[in-house]
């Protein structure tokens, strides 16, 4: 059986940063990713990152992705692409399918950085071709350079919905409307302003009633709601669209952590059920770490910092050393990222996770 000091599952921003930090400390790292190219969702983020003062602000996600890949190459990390980590068994043995073959890897430490999946929004007609996740649409447009539709309705006026709307405009599509059932825009105002400047209406307190079509989406019915979120049916409106993008949040992909017997908690502001972890990103199972969206839905910038923290902590565990100063810097940066109405809620939830971890470990 292959033996590794640190096995990282998921080569997105968190996994890549963890690999780089751990390699810098001389740790033997194996990075496993299901895709043909690492980088996770960074390569579809063609907009400039916003909101983080220290670094990354003003840089496009795609550029950050390329920089990370170069760094990973420089530190000579073992990378298995097109490989699926399907299970974590006792004694930190990982099952991987690589080139159609089953391989077992024994790891001293494991970092699960598997990311997240877009939430569906069920409504009549939502399974029709042409109704898709907003992130999926972003993948099609920015990575594959294929327009999945010409006239779009975006459901959700959070950052993802607003950014995807703008990127669809850049790619040549027409946005008929961005709608959100909440009475206010939950995304950053810079993104909302760009949409409004482009002449796209943002309808708040509005829901979708139906996607119409037989073989594909041909139209959508949207409808304003009252204060109790009940549709005001007589005000419903037919929209001529062939694409409906759903941007109603993400859910952490933490099946591997369930399987590894990690203790969980529920934090709605971070996307739902999450593995408990301490200030070093270690879960309740000894030697298993978590970072990025699968430890709580946030942003690429926080995922990268959490990845670094997990990488250093895993190195500490293996080498029995302390790098407290480096970790402190990272924690400070994480706190700086978690500001504003939503950032503050995420920060509190993260603190609760750490507190619950220590309570659970004691008993």
Partner 1 sequence: MKKIDCRIYDHPVLGKMPERKKVSIYLNNKKLIAYEGETVAAALYANGIRALRKTEKFKQPRGIFCAIGRCTDCVMTINGVPDVRTCITPVKNKMKIEFQKGLGRWKKKNW
Which residues here bind partner 1, judged by CB under 8 A? 34-36, 41, 46, 60, 117-118, 120, 127-133, 135-137, 139-142, 144-148, 170-172, 215-216, 253
Report how far residue 31's alpha carbon sits from residue 78's, in angstroms, rounded to the nearest whole number: 6
Q: How far is the CB of 174 from partner 1 (least distance, A)?
A: 14
Report how far residue 4's alpha carbon sits from residue 20's, in angstroms, rounded to the nearest whole number: 16
Residue 283 is given by DSSP the state: B
Q: How far is the CB of 309 from partner 1 (least distance, A)?
A: 25
- Closer CB to partner 1, 46 or 93, in the complex: 46
Q: How far is the CB of 216 from partner 1 (least distance, A)?
A: 5
- Closer CB to partner 1, 48 or 355, in the complex: 48
Report how far residue 225's alpha carbon sits from residue 157's, in angstroms, rounded to the nearest whole number: 15
- Closer CB to partner 1, 137 or 270, in the complex: 137
Q: How far is the CB of 48 from partner 1 (least distance, A)?
A: 10
Report how far residue 136's alpha carbon sits from residue 292's, in angstroms, rounded to the nearest whole number: 19
Q: Do 225 and 180 meet the contact criterion of CB atoms below 8 Å apart?
A: no
- Closer CB to partner 1, 144 or 321, in the complex: 144
- Closer CB to partner 1, 136 or 209, in the complex: 136
Q: How far is the CB of 41 from partner 1 (least distance, A)?
A: 8
Residue 254 Ramachandran class (φ > 0 left, ψ -120 to 50 alpha, else beta): alpha
Token pair for 78: 């073992």
**Residue 230's CB: how many other CB atoms inside 10 A?**
10
Q: How far is the CB of 279 from partner 1 (least distance, A)?
A: 30
- Closer CB to partner 1, 77 or 142, in the complex: 142
For 238-278, where are the alpha helices, taking DSSP H only? 255-259
Q: How far is the CB of 170 from partner 1 (least distance, A)?
A: 5
Q: Please give the backbone phi and psi of residue 28, each rounded to the nearest 5 degrees, phi first.
A: -80, 115
Q: How far is the CB of 259 from partner 1 (least distance, A)?
A: 16
Which helix H or strand E contains 89, and what residues bound it? Answer: strand 83-89
Helix (H, G, I), strand (E, B) or coil at 285: coil
- Closer CB to partner 1, 214 or 362, in the complex: 214
Q: How far is the CB of 313 from partner 1 (least distance, A)?
A: 28
Measured between its terminal Cα atoms, the distance across the chain in Å is 35
- Closer CB to partner 1, 107 or 134, in the complex: 134
Q: CA 306, 307, 308, 312 torsion: positive or negative?
A: positive
Report how far residue 20's alpha carbon sits from residue 6's, in angstroms, rounded to the nearest whole number: 12
**Long-range contacts, 227-236 (Cβ 8 Å, 24+):** 229/181, 231/207, 236/209
Token pair for 158: 């959070």
- Closer CB to partner 1, 251 or 278, in the complex: 251
Token pair for 339: 């500001």
């Amino acid at each position: 059986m292959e033996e590794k000091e640190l096995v990282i599952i998921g080569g997105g921003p968190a996994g890549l940063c963890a690999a780089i930090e751990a390699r810098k400390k001389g740790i033997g790292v194996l990075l496993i990713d299901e895709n043909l190219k690492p980088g996770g969702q960074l390569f579809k983020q063609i907009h400039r990152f916003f909101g983080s003062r220290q670094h990354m602000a003003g840089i496009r996600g795609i550029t950050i992705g390329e920089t990370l890949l170069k760094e990973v190459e420089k530190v000579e990390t073992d990378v298995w692409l097109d490989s699926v980590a399907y299970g974590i068994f006792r004694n930190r043995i990982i099952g991987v399918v690589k080139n159609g073959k089953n391989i077992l890897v024994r790891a001293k430490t494991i970092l699960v950085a598997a990311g997240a999946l877009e939430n569906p929004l069920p409504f009549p007609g939502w399974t029709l071709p042409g109704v898709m996740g907003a992130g999926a649409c972003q993948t099609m447009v920015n990575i594959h350079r294929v327009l999945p539709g010409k006239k779009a309705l975006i459901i959700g006026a959070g950052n993802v919905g607003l950014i995807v709307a703008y990127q669809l405009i850049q790619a040549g599509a027409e946005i008929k409307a961005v709608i959100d059932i909440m009475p206010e825009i939950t995304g950053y105002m810079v993104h909302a302003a760009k949409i409004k400047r482009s002449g796209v209406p943002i309808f708040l307190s509005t829901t979708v009633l139906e996607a119409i079509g037989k073989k594909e989406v041909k139209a959508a019915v949207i409808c304003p709601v009252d204060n109790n979120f009940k549709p005001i049916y007589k005000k419903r409106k037919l929209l001529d669209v062939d694409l409906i993008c759903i941007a109603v949040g993400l859910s952490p992909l933490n099946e591997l952590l369930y399987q590894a017997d990690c203790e969980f908690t529920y934090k709605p502001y971070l996307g739902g059920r999450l593995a408990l972890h301490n200030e070093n990103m270690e879960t309740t199972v000894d030697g298993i770490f978590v970072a990025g969206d699968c430890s709580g839905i946030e942003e690429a910038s926080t995922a990268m910092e959490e990845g670094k923290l997990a990488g250093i902590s895993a190195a500490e565990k293996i080498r029995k050393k302390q790098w407290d100063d480096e970790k402190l810097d990272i924690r400070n940066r994480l706190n700086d990222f978690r500001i504003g109405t939503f950032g503050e809620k995420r920060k509190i939830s993260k603190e609760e996770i750490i507190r619950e971890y220590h309570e659970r470990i004691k008993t």
